[in-house]
Structure formats: structure tokens, C-alpha cells
Amino acid sequence: MVIATPKRIKQIKFGLISPKEFRKMSVTRVITADTYDDDGFPIEMGLMDTKLGVIDPGLRCKTCGGRAGECPGHFGHIELVAPVIHVGFAKLIRKILRATCRKCGALLLEPNQKKKYLEQIKTLRKMGQPIEDIVNEVFKEARKAGTCTYCGEVQQEIKFEKPTTYIENEHKLMPTDIRSRLEKITDEDIEVIGMDPQNARPEWIVLTVLPVPPVTMRPSITLESGQRSEDDLTHKLVDIIRINQRFQENREAGAPQLIIEDLWELLQYHVTTFIDNAVSGVPPARHRSGRPLKTLSQRLKGKEGRFRGSLSGKRVNFSARTVISPDPNLRIFEVGVPLEVAKELTITMNVTPRNLDEVKEYVRRGPDNHPGANYIVRADGRRVKITESNSKELADLVELGWKVDRQIKDGDVVLFNRQPSLHRMSIMAHEIKVLPHKTFRLNPAVCPPYNADFDGDEMNLHVPQTEEARAEAKILMHVQENILSPRFGGPIIGGIHDHISGLFLLTNSKEKINKNDALELLRKSEIRELLEPAGMVDHEPYWTGKQIFSQILPGGLNLQFKAEICEQCEVCKGVDCENDAYVVIRDGILERGTIDEKAIGAFKSVILDKLIKEFNSDIACRFIDDATRLSIRGIMHSGFSFGIDDEYIPPEAQSQIDEVMTQAQDKVEKLISAYLAGELEQLPGRTLTETLEMEIMKELSKARDSTGDIAGRHLGMDNSAVIMARSGARGSMLNLTQMAACVGQQAVRGERIKRGYAGRTLSHFEKGDLGAQAHGFVRASYKSGLSPTEYFFHAIGGREGLVDTAVRTSQSGYLQRRLVNALQDLEVQFDGSVRDTRKMIIQFKYGEDGINPMNSDFSKPEAVRRIIDSVVGVKE
């Protein structure tokens, strides 16, 4: 294949095509509506004329002599018996007709006005600014004139009926009338209305010649039955030619005006739908089956159109998509690929002396025997499919310089992606692991960067095809290299949900773990020797959970930090913390403290952060693998479950809660009566009613919180939900309060619920009732169950949340798109400045400080402290 040297585009000219131009670019006039003759051969001067290009193999184009695939196709034309209007410009015609004289065609403006507007347009053009505003003003001014200043003709009001009818004085203007009017406009006037007399004369909008697109852009397909099925555009062209012919016959036969007009309208309809089949007011042209035809506009417009569907977005080979599911036994940079997928996706191997034997083995195995091969490409470029029967033969034939499409196998690097691809961690390089069953498997620790879960999510997989692509993927996109997020300089990959609960349970308990259990816990990690037992019970050695966890920490790790469960006491007791919330790791041994979200959680993990920045990503990666596996064993060791019965509150606590609620309601009543009596003290900047609302909201939320505290006192650290909330694994104390004690105020737009019937929210309440219950306060808890009115208010509040997220995602998606488009070509230069492609400076120093946020410590400016501490030797 000869690749033409690329040429630089100097300019693009937009304009209308003149009838002359249409005829010039046409290779044949099309006069018959038929396509093929009885022998299946294209009819001359028909819609499939071989002058227009060829699509059937074996035929040659009569214009360029090319075969199917070589010939790009050529335009033909149809001579329309009567002119018709181009729908796309119908509105422009309306504007021009109203702005020009019906007799002499002059633009209805004073000569000096014309001059002024023309000058403005010229300066704007020179500056590359849009001229729309000026042109619209010209049309607006010209329309005001009642009589023509040039010939004295009185102007008539022109009514426009969508899509292509113009009525003047109850008299319909035919396209011929319109065309002759447009022809009369002078070149000077055309420039004043913002058009270019050389490239876009207004009368060219009224079509007298219709171009026939090349056969190559409307290929017919042969069905299995041998029957030909034509493209939608061809169908439409057939309609146009038929009506055109009938029109001509009728006119020549001297048919009455009424019939001529009907046919004219029909011709207009067909040409209109040929251009755009979704014009409002025009019934869309349909296929025999009732499906609307896809005509010119429909090919370009919308998501699946040429621009968004074919040019900005393309489909690719060497890719797979399926549902994802978790597999904690995979390493974080692995991805489980179904065998069926692995058999289909290939990598091309060039046969060299060094891999000849290996390649032969792949070929010998054939396509059905997993790491096999699907195709070979011989030295002469011929592709041969490998089958069960020819695999042995082909394997012996393979020689240097051939290419073999080898199936992907364990360890191959692939790209893994989940939409929406909002940041660079949405596409990462994984190493594949071929597994049975039909889903992609991934370690749950890599869910956060993809924002994936397993409720039916699907993900895509792409196989890089060249050595360069594979090397780039492995060096830049490997999961290991993306543990730190460039957004905030902390790890984005890390433990989630049960990983956190599991390690929390393991490291927070005082349980003595015997040898059997200890080995069981560590089974999946590669630790084969236990350290010195913590002590003996009944002559049996035992270990603590902290010791077990220490086994997976790399030696030489020193760290001290406050855990997530830290209660922010006024005076921190440090190592003597009663909650075991002060973590001390010395030389890879967890001496004190509890492992929770702060230690291993995604987004927050201090340990991971340190491992990557001061050790390396390999060690960090291994730690995540070990930690996630240990945590799963850990959570299974003690067992972990949760049900609504876990929110049981003893009767005395329940009565305390009831009391708080009653008191709060009394207070609200008092506030209301104070308000009604006009004794309520107004807050600055608020109306009296607003003050009341605020006071009530404050009172009720205070009540909800204190019921939560009461419930919390009775639900200790032995409660699963409390463990999850405190360790940061899932949920919050607020969720707990709502389940156990009180759901609280339901709000719409931050206010109590006020909508509903006149003067009240529901008919269950008195008109004007300002009380808590009447405006969406839910006193019950999820466990006790909501009353019908409470339930209804809760649904209102819940709905708002749903609508909010729906609106937010679409808005932030569009914002993201705009930002990406604006920033995509900016680049940090070697001197630290940020510049665009024209080398204009955007920032003198990247981000003011020149720091890559990925290398900063959780985006805090004290990054230097770590270095100083390590040099000066201050305690960690």
C-alpha cells in the first residue's frame, strides 16, 4: 500500500455549491430510477451506474478504472424538473425574502447604512470574530422598511410556514418565484447580509440540480436469499427520480395546475427527507417495514453519527468486555481472564531464531489447546488460519520471518478499564491470569481507583499489540506504579470494607492465638516461620494478633501515628492510649495500637504511603496483597455478621430515648407558641419565620444526636456495626443512630418539608400546624419502624437525594469534559513552567510550588519534614 505524504491544510472554505459546480463534479446524469437489470448488472444512467463507483467485486469503475475498494466513488446528478428549497436553509430564505425588495431585489436599507454594516463586518472578519450579531441586526433593520427606497415598491408581509412554504399576501410563493427574487440581489447587498457572492449566492439555496452521492457511500447488500437490499439513501433517490419523471410527463401533457402543484409539493417532500428525515412538521419517510429512513442528516447527527460515533470514537479489536467479580487471592496487579476470552485474544510474535521452538510449540497446540495460536502470517504476507487439523503440519513449516498470533497467557500485560474514565487510574495495566468461568476477576483492593463494585459492573480489557506498547504499559500504567494518586499524594489502592474490619479485629483483640490458628491465619502469605511466641498457656505457646500482623510488615519500618479510632482527647496520652489508638511500629513490628482505616484503608493508609515513598512500590504491593489476604482470614477467624437485631436497645435506654424525644417536642411546642404570641426573639438577618424554622431544626437535630449518644452507650465495641463505623470500614455513627434510636428530620433543600396541600403537608394534620411531626420529623428508628406519615416524609427526603445525584453526575461530567478539552495539551516543561502547544506560558511554576502532588505527603506542604526528621534523626 502506498501511503501518500501528508499535506498541510492551508485553509478551509465553506460555501454553497452552485448548480454549475454540481454538474461539473458529476460524472453522469441519472435518469432512471432502476438499479440493476435482470442479469444483476448495473443499469447505465441508473442509480447504480458503474460510473458512480463500484461495490461488487470483479467490476471496474467506468470513471477511474479502479476495482471495488480502490475506487473512492464519484458523484452523479439529477436534473430537477422544478426547483425545490433546501430545508437546511429555509430559515435563511425567510430572512432574506423579508429583507429584500419583492420587485427589484435590493436590500431594504439606506446606502450609508449598508456601508456602515459592511465595514463592521469586514473588521470583525479580519479579527476572526463572529459576525452573526451584525448580520442579525441587518436583517432586523431591513425588515422594518415598508417601501423600497430604490424602486418605490410597497413591500408585503411574508408568512413562513414550516418547513418550506412561504406565503405572501395569501398567495403561495413557488420555489421558482423565490429563486428569481434571490437572483436579483446584487453582489454588494449579499456581502452586507454576511454572505460571499463568489462562494454562496443566495439563489443556490433553491436547488435545481441534486447531486447523487457515489455508490460507495450507499452500498447495497446481498441477503442470504440472494435478494438485493438497497441502502436508505438509494431508496430515497429512487423516490425523487420517480416523482421527477412523473412531474415532467404531466407538465408536458399539459396537466391542470392543481396536479402540477401537488407533484411539486411531493418532489419537495422527497428532497427534504433526503436531506433531513427528522424535520418537524414533515412526516418522516419510512421503509416498507415502518422504520424511518436514515438519510443524510441522520448519518452525521447525534451520538452514533459520523462525528461523535465514527470520528471522535472508534471501535477496536483485541478487546474484551464482561462482568467483574472479586477474587482476593489474586495479586493486586493481576486480572483473572476467562479461558474463552484468552483463547480469542492474541499477541503477534515475530519468529526469530531465539523463539522459533517456542513459537512452533504454540502453533502445534492449535487454537483449542489453551496457550496456542490462532493464525500465522507467512513471509509473503498470506494469512493462514490454524485449525485442529492443520496445526501439526503448520508447526513444521514455521520459519524465520513469519508471524504467529499467539493466544494470551498468564503474565501477559493488558490494559484494564472501567467507564467513566475520569482519571488516569481508570485505565491501568494488569498481568493476566487465565481462569475458568465467565467473569473478569480482580482483587477488591483495586476497586477504589476504578470506582468499581460487583453489583453487575462490566469492565473492558485491551491487549497491547507492539513491544513498545507493552513496555509503556508496564512502566507507566502498571497497577503498582499507580498506588499513589496524583490527586492528593496518598495511596488510592488499599484495604476496603472487610479488609479493615478484619485487621481491626485481629489487632484490637487480646485473644491468645494458638499455633494452629496462627499458621492458618498466615497460610496465604508467604511466611513459613513464626516468631517467638508471646507466652504460654497450659504449656502451649500462643501469639497475639499484633504479632501475626507484624509478620507481613517489612523489616526496617518505623512509624507512629494516631489511628482512626482515636478519640481526639484533649491531652493525647500517646503510647499509653486506653483505646489502643496510638500505633507504634518499630522495625516492622507492631508494638502498640490498632490497625484500622488510617493504617491500611484506601485513600488514608499511612503505612502504604510510607512503604511506597521510603521503600518501593514492589514492597508496598506485596504488603497490600498480604494484608488483604490476612484480613480476610482474620475476619473469618473471629466471624463477623450483622443484622437488624444487633441494634437491640435495652428497655431502660429506650425509655431514656423516649424522654429526650418528648422533651424536644415540648421545646418545639414552646417555640411555636412563643412565635405565635410574637415573643420569639428574631435572629439577625432572618425573618421571624426563618428564626422559628432554624430554632426548631436546631432543637430536633440536637435531640437526634443525644438519642444517638444514648444508643451508642449501649452498643459497645462488641457490636459489628460499631466496629465497622469506628474502624472506618463502612457506615457511620449517624447510620447507627438512625437504625437504633431516631431517624430524625427529613429535609428538602435544607428546610423542613413544607410542600403538599394548602396550609399543610398531608391531610393528617391540622392546617397551619407547625409541629415537628407535621413537617417531616421522623421520631421512630428504622428498627422500631416508621409510621405511615413518617414513611411518606422519608420517601420525600430520599427522592431529593436521588434527584441530586442524577443532576450532579450529568453536570460534573460536562464540566470535566470542558476542563479536559481546555487543558489536554498543556505540558510541564523542563524549566518547571507550564506551556501550551504554542509555547505560551500558562504558569511560570507548575502549581505555584513546582511540586508533583503525587510525591507530596497527602498534599500537605510539610513534605520536607520527613526528610529533615530522617536526616536529623528525630523520632518518627
Partner 1 sequence: MKEKEPAGREFKPLEHKMVPRHEILNEEELKKILSEYNIEKEQMPKIKEADPAAREIQAKIGDVVRIIRESPTAGKAIFYRLVIA
Interface positions with partner 1 (CB under 8 A): 831, 833, 835, 838-845, 847-851, 861
Shortest gap between Cβ of 839 and partner 1 (angstroms)? 6
Query: What strands, in cross-sheet order, belong to the sheet with 165-168?
Result: 158-161, 165-168, 171-173
Kindly state the cell numbers that stand for 746.
427529613
Amino acid in position 326? P
Burial class (CB in 10 A: 0-12, 13-18, 19+), 670: exposed
- Of 4 and 867, the one with the shorter C-beta distance to partner 1 is 867
142: closest CA among 95, 186, 180?
Answer: 95
**At closest approach, how far in Å is the CB of 93 from partner 1?**
41
**Residue 310 or residue 829: which is nearer to partner 1 going by CB?**
829
C-beta closer to partner 1: residue 508 or 856: 856
Smallest distance, partner 1 to C-beta of residue 822, A: 15
Neighbours of 313 (CB within 10 A): 10
SS3 14: coil
Task: Please report, as a single letter, which amino acid is at residue 588.
Answer: G
Nearest approach, Cβ of 844 to partner 1 (angstroms)? Answer: 6
**Closer to partner 1 at the Cβ: 455 or 848?**
848
Q: Which residues contact 511 (CB under 8 A, 6 or more apart)?
A: 544, 545, 638
Max distance between CA atoms of the chain, in angstroms, equals: 122
- The least distance separating partner 1 from the CB of residue 604, rounded to whole angstroms, comes to 21
CB of 164 to partner 1, least distance (A): 48
Using CB atoms within 10 A of its CB, is residue 497 exposed (0-12), middle (13-18) or buried (19+)? middle
Nearest approach, Cβ of 786 to partner 1 (angstroms)?
Answer: 46
- Considering the complex, state which of residue 14 and residue 830 has its C-beta at the smaller distance from partner 1: 830
In angstroms, the CA 371 to CA 375 distance is: 13
Helices (H), 199-320: 232-252, 257-275, 296-300
Q: Which is nearer to partner 1, 250 or 833 (CB)?
A: 833
**8 A C-beta contact, residue 295 and residue 276:** yes
Bond preceding residue 163 cis, omega within 30 of 0 = yes
Cα 818 vs. chain centroid, distance in angstroms? Answer: 13
SS percent in the chain: helix, strand, coil, step 5: 40, 15, 45
C-alpha cell at 58: 470483479
Complex with partner 1: residue 324 or 834, whichever CB lies closer: 834
Between 792 and 858, whose beta carbon lies closer to partner 1?
Answer: 858
User: Residue 757 or 844: which CB sits closer to partner 1?
Assistant: 844
- Nearest CB to partner 1, comparing residues 458 and 849: 849
Grid cell of 273 as nine digits:
427527507
Give the whole-angstrom CA distance, residue 242 versus residue 49: 17
User: In sequence order, what E strands does 556-704 have?
Assistant: 559-562, 582-586, 589-592
Task: Return the number of the residue (318 or 858) whose C-beta is nearest partner 1.
Answer: 858
Q: Which residues pair with 147 in a beta bridge?
A: 154
Amino acid at 856: S
Q: 66: Cβ–Cβ under 8 A, 6 or more apart, which residues?
A: 54, 60, 72
Question: Is 107 within 8 Å of 242 (Cβ atoms)?
Answer: no
Q: Which of 786, 863 has the CB closer to partner 1?
A: 863
CB of 484 to partner 1, least distance (A): 18
Neighbours of 818 (CB within 10 A): 10
- DSSP reduced 3-state for 500: helix
**Interacting residues of 15 by C-beta distance below 8 A, sequence separation 6+:** 196, 198, 199, 200
Q: Computed from CA positions of residues 823, 827, 832, 833, in that sequence, does the dihedral angle turn out positive or negative?
A: negative
Least CB distance from residue 837 to partner 1, whole Å? Answer: 12
User: From CA 704, how far away is CA 211, in angstroms rounded?
Assistant: 74
**Identity of the residue, 550 or 856, whose beta carbon is nearer to partner 1 in the bound complex:** 856
- C-beta of 323 vs 841, nearer to partner 1: 841
Is the Cβ of residue 547 or residue 856 nearer to partner 1 in the bound state?
Answer: 856
Least Cβ distance, residue 825 to partner 1 (angstroms): 15
CB 336 within 8 A of CB 317: no
The H-or-E segment that residue 747 falls in is: strand 747-748
CB of 850 to partner 1, least distance (A): 8
Q: With respect to partner 1, which residue has the nearer C-beta, 70 or 862?
A: 862
Is residue 713 a contact partner of residue 653, using CB atoms and an 8 Å limit?
Answer: yes
Q: Shortest approach of partner 1 to residue 134 CB, angstroms?
A: 22
Single-letter amino acid, residue 146: G
| Distance between CA atoms of residues 730 and 709, nearest Å | 19
Residue whose C-alpha is closest to residue 49's, from 82, 74, 68: 74
Distance of CA 313 to the CA centre of its chain: 12
Closest separation in Å from C-beta 818 to partner 1: 20
Closest contact distance (angstroms) between CB of 605 and partner 1 is: 23
Buried b (16+ CB within 10 A) or exposed e, 15-30: ebebbeebeeebbbeb
Q: Cβ 861 to partner 1, closest distance in Å?
A: 5
- Closest residue by Cα to residue 272 from 262, 263, 261, 284: 284
In whole angstroms, how close is the CB of 568 to partner 1 at the nearest point?
Answer: 24
| Closer CB to partner 1, 283 or 832, in the complex | 832
CB atoms within 10 A of CB 100: 25
Q: Which is nearer to partner 1, 105 or 489 (CB)?
A: 489
Nearest to 621 by CA among 428, 488, 410, 459: 428
- Name the minimum Å distance from CB 829 to partner 1: 9
Contact predicate 551/542, CB 8 Å: no
CB 124 → partner 1: shortest distance, Å? 17
